[in-house]
Amino acid sequence: MRLLVKTAVRLALLPILSSIGCGAQPAPFALSEAVLVAEGPAGERRWGRYQFPSLDRLLDGRIALSFHVNEDSARAYGRRPAQPDRGVSANVGETWSLEHSTERTAGLLLPNGDRLIAGRSDVTPTAVPLAELKLPERVGTIIGTYGRLPYTFYRHDDLPDQLRGVPLARLPAGAGEWRNERAQLFDPGFQRYTIQEVFPVVWWGDLNLASDGSIVSLVYPRSIDGDVACHRSTDFGRSWRLQGRIAYEPDVAADPLARSRTQGFTEPGSAFLADGSLLVMLRTTDGLGIGPLYSSRSADLGKTWTNPVVVNAFGVMPRLLRLRNGVLVLSYGRPGAEVRFSLDGRGEVWTDPLRLVPAASPDVQADSCGYTSLLAVSDDSFLIAYSWFKRPGDDDLPRKALLVRRVTVRPTSGAPKTD
């Protein structure tokens, strides 16, 4: 696998796409050339390998790009791969070295000095074989749209202890070692499922630190109904309680397949805005085909939510990042990978998409997994990571590749800054 050094940055103009018909305005940004972090061997086409990037800081300040090299299956949760699955950069993404992801990332720094990692695949435990379990009465079963696999749901509160709670890792203030924990979860409607003869313990979503020191997270899956939960912790992640939920209420005019999408809203990407409100983006793309990307807002720490509205025709694993200069960044993909900006930070008007991966096939999974990751590196710049499945290697044969670019963007005048 090769390392590349970032080449010169070029400057471009991007017009604003207004949702209310106002005239376009220029949005100056600088975009670096793509830097290769890792690539698969020639001929590797299997889904799940060399994709699903995740950018983080390590405790010493270096940047880590973790990626998936196993199959995309519940059976692979918690399994360590034989191949390196992380790139590490000590120079803000200009060059990368490959290693195994054995070192914990820095996690979320809490007001009490602890660091917390939760809502992610790297703290998701190994799925438990069904043959080892005695399960309670089921809630029901749905047929997933990928592979027609059955998902059988059970009430969280009825499950044995090993299948309950929120899996996480904590680095206590002043401590030298991370410890695995299982936080309490209080949500009477929460359910977990079996699939492929295993029982995964899943609680996935972003951790958002509120101004009052509590942690708010939008997580999925919550239940057989395809809704998304908002959970809040007021004790530094030791317990989580339901704040509110976003029911799967799709726009059937925008999506003719909406009522057939059995898994509803998935992969919520969330962030606090400058006014203290929460913004979330929600995926609906599934095995039936491309579905719209929706957004919803809460002004009361996730207790109540606006009706979800369509913000884009497609988008898997939407990511949100609020820069210190006030700009709000949104990325998503499939087909390809794209990034957009809300220059005033409100998330109501977005620029036209900046496309990072050429879409060369009618198959939306042929060019990229569509997953992206964002990491701020200064007040007005960030790194974006994405996959490209057809990047030419040294032998000119197409390879599945993990790439990173640095983007710098300036806000409109009057955009609220972040402290």
DSSP per position, 343-376: TTSSSSSEEPPEE-S---SSSTTSS----EEEEE
The C-alpha atoms of residue 203 and residue 210 are separated, in whole angstroms, by 20
Question: Each residue of 206-263: pLDDT tens digit?
Answer: 999 999 999 999 999 999 999 999 999 999 999 999 999 999 999 999 999 999 999 9
Q: Return the residue matching tokens 């018909």.
A: 21
Question: Each residue of 74-123: pLDDT tens digit?
Answer: 999 988 899 999 999 999 999 999 999 999 999 999 999 999 999 999 99
Predicted pLDDT of residue 11: 30
User: Count of CB atoms within 10 A of residue 80's CB?
Assistant: 10
- What are the backbone angles phi and psi of residue 74, rounded to the nearest 5°? -60, -25
Mean pLDDT of 305-322: 98
Q: Are strands 150-155 and 140-143 parallel, antiparallel or unpaired?
A: antiparallel
Bridge partners (DSSP) listed for residue 160? none
Name the residue among 349, 284, 351, 350 with its Cα closest to residue 318: 284
Name the residue among 413, 409, 412 with its Cα closest to residue 380: 409
The C-alpha atoms of residue 310 and residue 181 are separated, in whole angstroms, by 37
The C-alpha atoms of residue 193 and residue 419 are separated, in whole angstroms, by 41
Predicted pLDDT of residue 286: 97
- What are the backbone angles phi and psi of residue 358, rounded to the nearest 5°? -65, 130
Name the residue among 274, 273, 263 with its Cα closest to residue 295: 273
Amino acid at 93: G
How is residue 210 written in tokens? 């509120």
**Going from the N-terminus, what domains does the chain have, and what CATH number goes with each?**
104-314 (2.120.10.10)
Q: pTM for the complete prediction? A: 0.92
Predicted pLDDT of residue 416: 72
Kindly tell me if the per-residue pLDDT of 13 is higher than 70.
no
Predicted pLDDT of residue 6: 33
